[in-house]
Every structure is written in C-alpha cells, then in structure tokens.
Amino acid sequence: MRVERARYFLAAVETGSLRLAAARCGVSQPAVGQQIALLEEELDVVLLTRSRRGVQPTPAGQALLEPLRRLVAAEDDVRGAAMDSSGTYRGRVRIGAVSVTAETIIAPVVGRLREEHPGLRFTVREGASSDIEAAVLTGELDFGVITTPLVPAAAGLRRVPLLSAPVGVYLQAGHPLAGRDHVDWPDLGAWPIVTMRPGTVMWELLHRQVPNPDIAVAAMSARTVKVMVGHGSGLGFLARFDSPADVPGLVWVPLRDAPPVHVCLARRQDGLPSRSALIVRRLVQAKADELAGGDHGVRAHQGG
C-alpha cells in the first residue's frame, strides 16, 4: 500500500473536504479522490461518505484512522532519520507573509535556504494577515509570518509572538509635521493618509482611532506606502520596521499613545510540522531576533 494514499485520506478527514485536502497536499482534487478510491479498493472497505457538506469517515474509516496515522508517522520518521544522517533536507515548505514580513524576514530566510539547504523547496504567498491565517487553517500553507490581527485567533490556530514594532507616520522632509518629536491621533485627521489596504492590521487600527480618515491611497505593500508618500500623496501610516528597501528623503515620526504592531508566526495547533518546516521556522525566529536587536524601536516579544 502506498503511504501517500493514507496521507490523502487523513487530510480529507481532518479538513472535511476533498478540495481542502487537495490544497493541503499540494495536488488536484481529482487526484485525491482517485487515490482514496484506490486505497478503499486495496483495503476492501469504504472509508468515506460524501455529501454536499463534505466528507466524513465511515465506521470502517474511523477504525482505521489511528493505524494509518501510525503508518504515516513511521514513514516520516524514516525520512527524517535519512535526512539527519545526510544533513540534507528535502521537501517543500509553503510560507505565508504580509508585505512587510515578506520583505524584512522571509526574503532573507529564503536566501539562506538556497545556500544551506539546496534540496529544500519553498513557496511564498503574500497577502493580508486574515487571508494567510485562513490558508494556514485549511492546510494550504505550513505557517504564516504576519502582523497580528486585532481579533482573537480562530479555533485551531496558534499565534506565536515574534517581535513588535512602533507605529508612526512617514513624511516628506519638508512636511509641517516632520520636525516634531511625535504626532497625535488628531493630527492624522487633518491630512490625506496613505496606508495599507482594507483587511490589514494598519487599516483596522487607523479606523479604530480616527473617525472617517481621508484615505488617499490604500496600498498593497509597505513599500508602496513609502513610495506614494515620497511623491507627495499624504502621510504614510505604518509600523516602522526599516526594511532595506526604504525610500530616501522620508522622515519617520512616532505616533504618541499608539499600540505597537506585533508580528507573529501563525500555525495550526493540531499535527506536527515536517522537519523541513521546522528548519524554516527556526530561521524565521533567528531573523526576527536579529531585527529586534537593531536600534529602530523593534523589540523582541517579552513573555507569553
């Protein structure tokens, strides 16, 4: 029996859907259905019942869950021991990121992966924090490095704090607010604002504090916010991570009484990550620690 078929069956049971199982396993939905059918033929039992609401294990399928989990775990142990003995890690790790963490954390990490683990492949998906967390929950991504949403984590999801960064505004050097030690929330109501798009942490934070802000640009990336500010579009409302792609000629002024933006690693609570995913997560943590050791107000998470 091919262990891969057991993986597809377990993914279908855990997600309740052949579509989500296919996304988790990185194959097409027809391939998942075909392989599970072949597993049923090999074992001479019906493993799943299908309906418009998804799939559920039959009594026979329920009875086989733990034996098949042990089978998959045994194969993982064999592969892991082989990788440990050779020092070579293979497989594919699927990473989610928001624009600022893609630029400041993920890009340096994948650079190291190319050098230190050439057999390991990765996929990076950029999006809003809420979208990344949803993809982690369904198994489409192994984990995400995101700005922590203001709402609690969904059931089945764990947020591991990494670091925090101060919130403020980017300004052209000649702007009337550029020479101040800080700005206040009411100052943001007097100027056009450039910030991140709806669904992001920055958008939600701004709208909680400033009634009816004048949004001139709702950008897809922190880089775009800075470029637009550099061309005179308005105040750039952002957390300060000071990425290598900073736009010259801008001044950053902290926003008084603004809570910091937290960065976390979002992962599923159930299941064990692959050894390759653990390697990438350790590199992410190391890069976060490095950023927190700078002098731009970025801080490592304390406690929790």
* Three-class HEC string of the chain: CCHHHHHHHHHHHHHCCHHHHHHHHCCCHHHHHHHHHHHHHHHCCCCEEEECCEEEECHHHHHHHHHHHHHHHHHHHHHHHHHHHHCCCCEEEEEEECHHHHHHHHHHHHHHHHHHCCCEEEEEEECCHHHHHHHHHHCCCCEEEEECCCCCCCCCEEEEEEEEECEEEEEECCCCCCCCCCECHHHHCCCCEEEECCCCHHHHHHHHHCCCCCEEEEECCHHHHHHHHHCCCCEEEEECCCCCCCCCCEEEEEECCCCCEEEEEEEECCCCCCHHHHHHHHHHHHHHHHHHCCCCCCEECCCC
Task: State the average pLDDT over residues 61-80.
Answer: 86
Rounded to an integer, the average pLDDT of 162-172 is 93
- pLDDT grade for 272, boundaries at 50, 70 and 90: low
Q: Is 267 left (phi over 0), alpha (psi -120 to 50) or beta?
A: beta
Query: Where exactly does CATH 1.10.10.10 map onto the chain?
Result: 3-86
Lowest mean pLDDT among 70-84, 93-107, 190-204: 70-84
CATH topology of domain 3-86: Arc Repressor Mutant, subunit A (1.10.10)
Least confident piece of the model among 82-91, 106-115, 128-137 = 82-91
73-82, 175-184, 211-220, range with the lowest pLDDT: 73-82
Is the pLDDT at 211 greater than 50, yes or no?
yes
pLDDT of residue 304: 36
Where does the pLDDT of residue 4 fall: very low under 50, low under 70, confident under 90, or very high at 90 and above? confident
- Check pLDDT > 60 for residue 68: yes
CATH of domain 91-163+262-300: 3.40.190.10
pLDDT band at 296 (very low <50, low <70, confident <90, very high): low
pLDDT bucket at 273, cuts 50 / 70 / 90? confident
Q: Where in the chain is the domain with CATH 3.40.190.10?
A: 91-163+262-300, 167-259
Instruction: Report the topology of domain 167-259.
Output: D-Maltodextrin-Binding Protein; domain 2 (3.40.190)
pLDDT above 60: residue 245: no
- Give residue-wise pLDDT tens across range 251-268: 999 999 999 999 999 998
Average model confidence (pLDDT) across the chain:
87
Quickly state the pLDDT bin for 24 (edges 50, 70, 90): confident
Confidence band, pLDDT 50/70/90 cuts, at residue 161: very high
pTM of the predicted structure, to 2 decimals: 0.68
Question: Binning pLDDT at 50, 70 and 90, where does residue 19 land?
Answer: confident
Looking at the predicted structure, is the pLDDT value of residue 138 above 90? Answer: no
Higher pLDDT, 172 or 21: 172
Taking residue 83's Cβ as centre, other Cβ atoms within 10 Å add up to 20
* pLDDT the model gives residue 303: 39
**pLDDT score recorded for residue 72:** 87
Average pLDDT value for residue range 119-146: 90
* Site of tokens 């992410």: 284
The amino acid sitting at 115 is E
| Lowest mean per-residue pLDDT among 75-84, 110-119, 212-221 | 75-84
